[in-house]
Amino acid sequence: MHLTLWTYEGPPHVGAMRIATAMEGLHYVLHAPQGDTYADLLFTMIERRSKRPPVTYTTFQARDLGSDTAELFTTAVKEAYERFKPEALIVGASCTAELIQDDPGGLAKAINLPIPVIPLELPAYQRKENWGASETFYRLVRTLARPVETRAAGKPIRCNLLGPTALGFRHRDDVHEVTGLLAKLGVAINVVAPLGASPADLGRLGEADFNVVLYPEIANQAAQWLERTFGQPSVKTVPIGMGATRQFISEVARLAGVDPTPVLTSAAARLPWYSRSVDSTYLTGKRVFIFGDATHVMAAARVASKELGFAVVGLGTYSRELAREVREAAKAYGIEALITDDYLEVESLVNQLQPEIILGTQMERHIAKRLGIPCAVISAPIHVQDFPARYSPQMGFEGANVLFDTWVHPLMMGLEEHLLTMFRDDHEFHGEALPSHIGRAVRTPRTPEASADPPPVSLATETAVAWAAEAEKELKKIPFFVRGKARRSTERFAHDQGLSMITVDTLYDAKAHFGR
């Protein structure tokens, strides 16, 4: 048993719903009690889908237990088949139904429907949403993909795009962007799956020359099976950022046997020039904290560090399935990855590190708001704001442009930063002044109720160092966006030096010591 105040991922059957909802002509019969239908609103409200997810819930009640829950399931399957006439059916249990062990797979099979019926085993007390999505996609591919006769020579090179789902972070736009990139290389799309694919489309997966894995969390397992079974190689580079997009193009070109040079040189990305433009100098060494799913955090770290010149001070993920990869990536920045699904741990690390910008999920956006730190959202879990009306991919050259804008805009502009440093005594720059671009919610006095909450984790407890009044006053002259960091490093410095009182001199000694 573990205590959870908020969770990054839903249960695995919600992952299965993300696959079913992304597809056409597939229906999901879920053995579940009343209440589990809440998951529908994730799709209809957060993603604003105009159709209900193709899911039938059996809705069993306490009085059904031990008598006819199995019968309820069988009836639900028959009714769903009659009403929706799907091309294929997936069946499974939610957490509660898993406990009553009705065997949805066996029951559904016994009905002898004239369509493929794919049972899902998604252990709800062990696994989570992304695992559920990956497993569901894999089961579907395994069941439905047909062997192909030898591919006709002379046909255009074709690939599958694997991984985009419903409720994915910018999946819809990424598919559009990557499809365009591939077209420029002369590579046609065979099937995009699961987003928009029908069971019949999954049957044709084997006809492609290779696979592009856009979201490894979802599609790695299926791609590996396709590689083993049909000998289709996979492009594994996720084209987020300039460097990764170029690498992706070269990798695709090699598999397709085409020359990548025209596409690489014609790229209309603005990120490289904007980043080299002198006004971006102030971005140098900005301390960034990154948290989210594995794919997006690894890509974000690379872009932040190599393409914007930030310093990656923290990197973490809730994707335990890809923890090894993220740990490896973090080493490149000389840091240790945080692998957790407890947002309090994330918050506590952010508090310790005092980054200047946070790239994270909606939860990190809230942590950032509370702490008054600029933030951009880079990964699921997401909310309605993360489905913008405009075209806003993360992948490809346009995706790199989007990243530049969304990560740089929350930061203060370079000249504004200088003015703040030069005129610290301006009455509007005083110690408690709000950063104008972050909004008013920050640093308002805590309400009596909020103050009843436990104080945020602070390093101050380990250092019993006092601040002299003069030093405290001097500290207030430091702009707010680096003040927290200055306070902590000075305290650490004083602690290491064995000092019990921080004076103005200590403050500047520490500044010289850490030499930003």
Cβ distance 197 to 20 under 8 Å? Answer: no
Tokens 């088949």 belong to 81
Q: Which is nearer to another protein, 323 or 504 (CB)?
A: 323
Whole-number minimum distance, CB 339 to another protein, in Å? 17
CA angle 288, 291, 279 (to 5 degrees): 30
Q: Which is nearer to another protein, 99 or 413 (CB)?
A: 99
At 56, list the tokens: 């039938």
Q: Which is nearer to another protein, 52 or 146 (CB)?
A: 52
Measured CA to CA, the distance from residue 451 to residue 423 in angstroms comes to 33
Whole-number minimum distance, CB 59 to another protein, in Å? 5
Cβ distance 135 to 12 under 8 Å? Answer: yes
Tokens 């004076």 belong to 503
Whole-number minimum distance, CB 71 to another protein, in Å? 12
For binding to another protein (CB under 8 A), which residues are involved? 1-7, 9-11, 13-14, 33-42, 44-45, 48-52, 56-63, 65, 76, 79, 83, 94-96, 99-100, 123-126, 128, 362-363, 365-366, 383, 447, 449-450, 452-454
Measured CA to CA, the distance from residue 426 to residue 422 in angstroms comes to 9
CA dihedral 315, 318, 321, 327 (to 10 degrees): 20
One DSSP character per residue, 399-421 reads HHHHHHHHHHTTSPPHHHHHHHH
Whole-number minimum distance, CB 97 to another protein, in Å? 9
User: Is residue 279 annotated as a catalytic residue, yes or no?
Assistant: yes
Measured CA to CA, the distance from residue 332 to residue 312 in angstroms comes to 10
Of 68, 259, 279, 496, which one is the catalytic site residue? 279
Helices 469-476 and 480-496, axial angle in degrees (round to 10): 140
Q: Which is nearer to another protein, 50 or 461 (CB)?
A: 50
Measured CA to CA, the distance from residue 172 to residue 21 in angstroms comes to 13
Whole-number minimum distance, CB 235 to another protein, in Å? 33
At 116, list the tokens: 């493929």
Whole-number minimum distance, CB 170 to another protein, in Å? 19
Q: Look at residues 77, 35, 71 and name the one whose alpha carbon lies nearest to residue 56.
A: 77
Q: Which is nearer to another protein, 5 or 268 (CB)?
A: 5
Q: Which is nearer to another protein, 366 or 443 (CB)?
A: 366
Whole-number minimum distance, CB 248 to another protein, in Å? 33
Q: Look at residues 131, 76, 53 and name the one whose alpha carbon lies nearest to residue 120.
A: 131
Indicate the pairing of strand 88-93 with strand 26-31.
parallel
Q: Which is nearer to another protein, 50 or 150 (CB)?
A: 50
Cβ distance 357 to 373 under 8 Å? Answer: yes
Positions marked active-site: 279
